[in-house]
Amino acid sequence: MLREWRSELNRLLILIAIAAVLGLIIGKITLVVMMALIGYLAQMMFQLYRLNQWLEHLPDTELRDPPEATGVWGWIFDGIYRLQRRERDAVNHLKSILDKAQESSAALEMAVVMINHRGNLEWWNKAAETLLGFRNGQDQQQGVTNLLREPRFFEYFEGRKYAEPLRIQSPIKKNLILEFQITLFGEGERLMLVRDVSQMHRLESMRKDFVGNVSHELRTPITVINGYLETLLDHRDGVAPRWIKPLEQMHQQSQRMENIVRDLLTLSRLETKALSKEQDRIDVNSLLREVKSEAEQVFENKSHSFELESEPNLYLKGSISELYSAISNLLFNAAKYTPESGKIKLTARLSEKGLDVEVIDNGAGIAEQHIPRLTERFYRVDESRSTDTGGTGLGLAIVKHVLARHGADLEIYSVLGKGSRFVCHFPKDRLLD
């Protein structure tokens, strides 16, 4: 750069020198030097004009060769040309990345929708048009909740709790079941992924129906067998002594089967039937009192001390029978898995997030590695301990389902050999005045 400027300066100096010599010869030095400078200025103006013309008529995407020039102007033209070429290469590179991203998302079977901070559609791929019915162009900048009007979607979208996906029917094809998963990013923007889970949904329904039907079909035969075994054992005087033990074992096992079938039917009902819209106003204190008094009767022989500690005037909205079953499952477990003369406490208190109902025992406790799996169906920490106590391995699965239907969740704390604490967190919107 310095070289060009130096040679330009040299040119100017030579021009002035020649003009001065010429001026001296003809005796008008000032005039000739002035004219030479005006000529130089005119040439500068002309180059500026060419630069302006070139820049003004530059196409958006392609490059046009710069005007021919030497010296400092040649250097300026080349410099600008180089900058333009670099910028064009960067733009082309970004464009090709964008094209590839768009092509690959267009090929996806999953709908991808970008939503701005106002909840309006920014961009979506082809699958969003087939699964959700979004129309190219027309629906740009439309509010997503105006286009997807299902109330559950509205609640999910506005609730901003996206840890779990949402399943609803497709707004345009009623036989499709769609799963929505939303991720927040940037400044309040949302990325929504929607996939067709109809096949999985059908298989799940078949599984649920199968379990429901089998349990239903087994209920009557088991009740009959159990009934006869009970009658036989009630009249054990008329039974040959060598049959008493087998009969007792048969009775014990048939009772276990009856319990399993009962719990499977409960689970199947919880999975297939939504919580009714008309829900009970539950007086938490009287519910806990009832559960406690039932546990005291059932576990009379274990001499536990049951304690109830609860704030007054707590009312919940929900299904009283389901919550009774959930809390009694927890309390019965506490009584079952605590050795005789244990201390079992039932508490209810308001928390920042809503209401906490706790069941605390000082019994066997549970080793840490089992805790995350306790609510799985048929998961037992210790098979022999559980069958001894008549457990089915379904109790905590029922508790989890019931709580989920009430917007609540279950937390389990336990120390092996010391005891356990099961906490049900009910959200504020479940509380009634």
Which positions touch ligand ADP (CB under 6 A)? 329, 333-334, 337, 361, 363-366, 374, 379-382, 386, 391-397, 420
Q: Beta strand pairing status for 305-310 and 343-350?
A: parallel
Minimum distance from CB of 360 to ligand ADP (Å)?
Answer: 9
User: CA-to-CA distance for 92 and 86, rounded, in angstroms?
Assistant: 10
CA angle (310 as vertex; 306, 315 as ends), nearest 5: 125
State the nearest-atom distance from the C-beta of 396 to ligand ADP, in Å: 3
Q: 177 or 346, CB closer to ligand ADP?
A: 346
CB of 302 or CB of 380, closer to ligand ADP: 380
Q: Report the C-alpha gap between 36 and 17 in whole angstroms.
A: 10
Tokens of 429: 């919107």
Residue 345 or residue 406: which is nearer to ligand ADP going by CB? 345
Q: Which is nearer to ligand ADP, 112 or 397 (CB)?
A: 397
Select 72 or 359, whichever has its Cβ closest to ligand ADP: 359
Q: How far apart are the first and last CA of the chain?
A: 82
- The dihedral of CA 232, 238, 240, 244: what is its sign? positive
Nearest to 47 by CA among 15, 80, 17, 14: 80
Distance of alpha carbon 325 from alpha carbon 293, whole angstroms:
14
* Bridge partners (DSSP) listed for residue 361: 344, 420
